[in-house]
Structure formats: C-alpha cells, structure tokens
C-alpha cells in the first residue's frame, strides 16, 4: 500500500553542504569560533582560534562552549588569543594616538612660525603633510 502523502518535500538535497563549521558539542548547532586540542602528554587542553580546516582529533566549539570550557582535574587550560577579536586599546595606545594627532597638527604651526625655513631637526630632509623624510643616521 502506498502512502497518501508522497515523498518528503521538505528534505534538504544531499548535494548542498554547509560551509560553516558547527560546534562539536552534542545537540549544539551554533557556528564554531574556536578549536580545542588536547595535549595528553602535558595534561593540557589548548583552546585557540578556529583552525583553518577540521582536524580529526580536534574539537570545534561555539562561543558559549569555548567560554565555559573546563578541563579534567589536574589538567591545565591554555587559551590562545584570537587575532580576529578586537583588542581593547590600552592607556599607552591612547597616549600614542593623542601624540600622533598632535604631531600631525604641528607642521602648519612650524611653517608659519619659522617663515618657511627648514626644520630644526638635523635628521629631517623633507616633509610632506604629516610625513617626514629622515636622513640615515650613518650619513
């Protein structure tokens, strides 16, 4: 006897493969953002950025599972910094940015104050906007 419903129409064709790697945790379908590798000889779990390709002995984890990761008792968890994550600026970064902005504003002030004379810096050969051409220290 044939089914009255016919073939299942909502099935995804088998020739379509997702390019997004998914979390390896059971019943988690979120996209993976980190890769977990175990170094059994050192009793260490290494959590780093998502590997370039899927390895058989590595586990891809989503953001939630990578944040909540714990290791067995006696094991160490090493979390490698992710280069793609935006880094928060430090106080030194902000001070360097402020100094660069101040330096970029100086050329007009120097040129007006010196009457177009050459800069007092003996290493400076030429200037174009905020860029300077410096003489080699060997010369």
Question: DSSP labels for 96-127?
Answer: HHHHHHHHHHHHHHHHHHHTTPPPS-TTEEEE
- pLDDT at position 65, please? 93
Task: Tell me the C-alpha distance between 136 and 139, whole Å.
Answer: 6
- pLDDT at position 119, please? 47
Using one digit for the tens of pLDDT, what is the confidence trace for 51-83? 888 888 899 999 999 999 998 899 999 998 765
Contacts of 21 (CB under 8 A, 6+ apart): 31, 32, 50, 54, 60
The pTM of this model reads 0.48
In eight-state DSSP terms, residue 22 is: B
In terms of residues, how long is the chain?
139
85 band by pLDDT with thresholds 50, 70 and 90:
low
Task: Tell me the C-alpha distance between 35 and 97, whole Å.
Answer: 34
């Amino acid at each position: 006897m044939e089914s009255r419903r016919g073939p299942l129409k909502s099935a995804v064709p088998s020739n379509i493969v997702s390019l997004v790697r998914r979390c390896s945790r059971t019943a988690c379908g979120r996209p993976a953002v980190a890769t977990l590798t175990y170094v059994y000889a050192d009793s260490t779990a290494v959590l780093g950025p998502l590997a370039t390709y899927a390895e058989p002995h590595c586990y891809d984890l989503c953001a939630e599972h990578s944040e909540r990761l714990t290791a067995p008792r006696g094991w160490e968890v090493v979390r490698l910094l992710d280069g793609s994550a935006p880094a928060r600026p430090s106080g030194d970064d902000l001070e360097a940015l402020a100094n660069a902005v101040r330096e970029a504003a100086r050329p007009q002030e120097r040129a007006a104050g010196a009457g177009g004379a050459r800069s007092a810096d003996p290493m400076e050969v030429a200037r174009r906007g905020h860029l300077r051409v410096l003489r080699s220290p060997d010369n």
